[in-house]
């Protein structure tokens, strides 16, 4: 039997590459439901798989902010089961906090945080009933340490960490493994798709000049980090495959070992020792 995989945010970037790799698996191990908010963007994915994978790929519409579209996509899975759920859809928001509108902040939280959570919610009962499953979430180093001018983005990604850690402790008891694939900079459409305050924006003229100067510096730093250290989506896909193929996947995977020292601190305990410890404290106190 094929492993049924559903991936969110497949019109570009990491989601697209992962969908292509799994659908093109030489052993045809996977049946991939590649979902995207806007089906008119499916050409890139179709071109990348060269139309050869009718039996391993299906493309479905899913907007992670629209609960009905999540349920509709779920109901279109012909196998009526899911083995691997990949929550990958996400957007960025960059600029001084003072200029961010409530709507743009709400939107980021709706996509990155609530979108991920309500996607997981929709598939949980099925996975629990199967007593089996994998939930993989595209995490960010911006979910592990703060970044200036990314306050709300980081807040959304930190929140994902909390939601996933909490879930992992419970889902262990259902043989469902949760894994976060923590990415640093990756060459995708992320920088194009994110909502960024541009240097010429009138809103930016309204913030103090020191913030403006620091923001300009941050943007330079950001450009150079992406030029010098960004990974390709293929590198990220390899890590997803590791997690998918491992009989007992780790809770956190880091796609790259190069990173600021603050991230290294969190790298020292990347296995599931916290998950196991908390699970014991809460669920098996007699074993203490």
- The residues carrying an active-site annotation are 153
CB of 7 vs ligand NAD, minimal distance in Å: 10
**CA–CA distances in Å: residue 85 to residues 101, 201, 238:** 32, 39, 17
| Token digits of residue 137 | 């979430």
181 makes contact with ligand NAD (CB under 6 A): no
**What is d(CA 87, CA 6) in angstroms, rounded to the nearest whole number?**
8
Cβ count within 10 A of residue 155:
19
CB of 94 vs ligand NAD, minimal distance in Å: 12
CB of 224 vs ligand NAD, minimal distance in Å: 14
CB of 114 vs ligand NAD, minimal distance in Å: 10
Q: Determine which residue in the list 95, 96, 133, 185 makes contact with ligand NAD, applying CB under 6 A.
A: 185
Stretch that binds ligand NAD, among 18-26, 168-176, 187-195, 199-207 (CB under 6 A): 187-195
- Whether 197 contacts 204, CB under 8 Å: yes
Stretch that binds ligand NAD, among 45-53, 120-128, 188-196, 202-210 (CB under 6 A): 188-196
**What is d(CA 106, CA 78) in angstroms, rounded to the nearest whole number?**
34
Interface with ligand NAD (CB under 6 A), residue total 26
Tell me whether residue 188 or residue 197 sits nearer to ligand NAD (CB atom): 188
259 makes contact with ligand NAD (CB under 6 A): no
Query: What is the edge-to-edge ordering of all strands in the sheet holding 176-183?
Result: 57-61, 30-36, 3-7, 84-87, 133-140, 176-183, 252-254
Secondary element (H or E) of residue 119: helix 116-130
CB of 240 vs ligand NAD, minimal distance in Å: 11
Stretch that binds ligand NAD, among 13-21, 23-31, 124-132, 278-286 (CB under 6 A): 13-21
Cβ count within 10 A of residue 278:
16
Stretch that binds ligand NAD, among 12-20, 48-56, 196-204, 207-215 (CB under 6 A): 12-20
Closest CA relative to residue 116, chosen from 187, 63, 68: 63
**CA–CA distances in Å: residue 16 to residues 10, 37, 49, 220, 234:** 4, 13, 10, 28, 10
105 makes contact with ligand NAD (CB under 6 A): no
13 makes contact with ligand NAD (CB under 6 A): yes
Q: Which residue has the tokens 């998918």?
A: 244
- By CB atoms closer than 10 A (0-12, 13-18, 19+), residue 176 is buried
Q: Determine which residue in the list 29, 61, 65, 126 makes contact with ligand NAD, applying CB under 6 A.
A: 65
Q: Determine which residue in the list 56, 83, 88, 150 makes contact with ligand NAD, applying CB under 6 A.
A: 88
Q: Determine which residue in the list 56, 100, 140, 150 makes contact with ligand NAD, applying CB under 6 A.
A: 140
Secondary element (H or E) of residue 181: strand 176-183
Q: Determine which residue in the list 132, 193, 263, 276 makes contact with ligand NAD, applying CB under 6 A.
A: 193
CB of 281 vs ligand NAD, minimal distance in Å: 31
The footprint of ligand NAD (CB under 6 A) covers 8-9, 11-15, 37, 63-65, 88-91, 111, 115, 138, 140, 183, 185-186, 188-190, 193
């Amino acid at each position: 039997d094929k492993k049924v995989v559903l991936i969110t945010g497949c019109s570009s970037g990491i989601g697209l590459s992962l969908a292509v790799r799994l659908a093109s698996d030489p052993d045809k191990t996977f049946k991939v439901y590649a979902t995207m908010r806007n089906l008119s963007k499916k050409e890139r994915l179709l071109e990348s798989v060269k139309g050869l994978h009718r039996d391993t790929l299906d493309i479905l519409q899913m907007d992670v902010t629209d609960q009905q579209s999540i349920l509709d996509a779920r109901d279109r899975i012909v196998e009526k089961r899911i083995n691997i759920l990949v929550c990958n859809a996400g957007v960025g928001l960059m600029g001084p906090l003072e200029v961010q509108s409530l709507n743009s902040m709400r939107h980021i939280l709706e996509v990155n945080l609530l979108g991920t959570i309500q996607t997981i919610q929709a598939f949980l009962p099925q996975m629990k009933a199967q007593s089996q499953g994998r939930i993989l979430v595209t995490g960010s180093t911006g979910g592990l340490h703060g970044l200036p001018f990314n306050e709300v983005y980081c807040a959304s990604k930190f929140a994902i960490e909390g939601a996933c850690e909490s879930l992992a402790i419970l889902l262990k008891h259902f043989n469902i493994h949760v894994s976060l694939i923590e990415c640093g900079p990756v060459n995708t459409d992320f920088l194009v798709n994110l909502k960024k305050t541009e240097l010429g924006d009138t809103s930016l003229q309204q913030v103090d000049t020191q913030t403006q100067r620091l923001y300009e510096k941050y943007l330079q730093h950001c450009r150079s980090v992406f030029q010098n250290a960004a990974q390709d989506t293929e590198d990220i896909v390899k890590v997803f495959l590791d997690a998918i193929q491992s009989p007992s996947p780790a809770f956190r995977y880091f796609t790259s070992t190069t990173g600021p020292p603050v991230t290294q601190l969190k790298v020292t305990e990347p296995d599931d020792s916290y998950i196991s410890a908390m699970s014991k404290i809460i669920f098996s106190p007699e074993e203490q």
